[in-house]
Amino acid sequence: MKRTILLFFILFCLNTLKAQHREIIIFFNDSTSLEGFGEVRKNKIYFKLEQNDKLSELDHLSVRAIHFVGYGFIEKYEYVKSDKYNKPKIMELLEEGNVNLYAFSEIVTKIYLPDINFPNNPNAFPAPVYKTGLQVEYFIKRPNEDVATDIVFSFKRRAIRYFSDCPELIEKINNKTFTSANIPEIVTFYNDYCNDELLRD
């Protein structure tokens, strides 16, 4: 009897937790906003006004941004175009300023073929190894730009061209003080120290 009650309690707790969604603020393309609860899945937003309501599915056609709020923190996400041909992706806004830094994260599975010799059986084929992990790509975008730039791909060439108005930053990239491993620091440096025009105003 006790075991049955315990099992029921565990199932009840799991179902309750599953039904709970995080507090969010939705920012629509028409400049209105709405508070409620929801989550992000597969580049879509699932939203409801109250925890017990049914979820509604939203996407970039109506939504510009979403903020997860609670516990004194705010996680900001926006729909961002990574190229002019594909639909916008939901990316986390990590740094905001003259240049915004976004992170696009997804779980990917890669297949590896072990480099193993089989002297006893040359016809044998090694079994593939599957590795799943979180892949993060960084994008940068000025507020007046329609499409974000993949700053990781061809890092040095793109970074020097994109931040060409900041000689101090270009020097740090050339002497490898900043590399592709320092992209968040690069954007912060640019927003803090390469904004002479606004500082003069």
CA dist 9 and 199 (Å) reads 60
Phi and psi at residue 42, in whole multiples of 5°? 50, 50
CA dist 108 and 134 (Å) reads 6
CA dist 89 and 69 (Å) reads 20
pLDDT at 117: 57
Give the residues across from 23 on adjacent strands.
Answer: 37
CA dist 51 and 108 (Å) reads 31
pLDDT at 126: 67
Token digits of residue 191: 């927003």
Do 163 and 151 contact (CB within 8 A), yes or no?
no
pLDDT at 124: 59
**Tens-digit pLDDT profile for residues 92-138:** 999 999 999 999 987 766 676 666 555 555 565 667 777 777 778 99
pLDDT at 198: 42
Global pTM value: 0.77
200 burial type by CB count under 10 A (0-12 exposed, 13-18 middle, 19+ buried): exposed
- Among 153, 148, 147, 159, CA closest to 187: 159
Token digits of residue 88: 């916008």
pLDDT at 11: 39
Do 154 and 107 contact (CB within 8 A), yes or no?
no
pLDDT at 120: 59
pLDDT at 3: 46
CA dist 139 and 101 (Å) reads 6
pLDDT at 194: 92
Do 37 and 47 contact (CB within 8 A), yes or no?
yes
**Residuewise pLDDT in 10s, the chain (201 residues):** 444 444 344 333 334 334 578 999 999 999 999 999 999 999 999 999 999 999 999 999 999 999 999 888 899 999 999 998 999 999 999 999 999 999 998 776 667 666 655 555 556 566 777 777 777 899 999 999 999 999 999 999 999 999 999 999 999 999 999 999 999 999 999 999 996 554 443
Residues, the chain, total?
201
- For residue 69, what is the enclosing H or E element? strand 63-70
Share in percent of the chain as helix, strand, coil (round to 5): 25, 35, 35
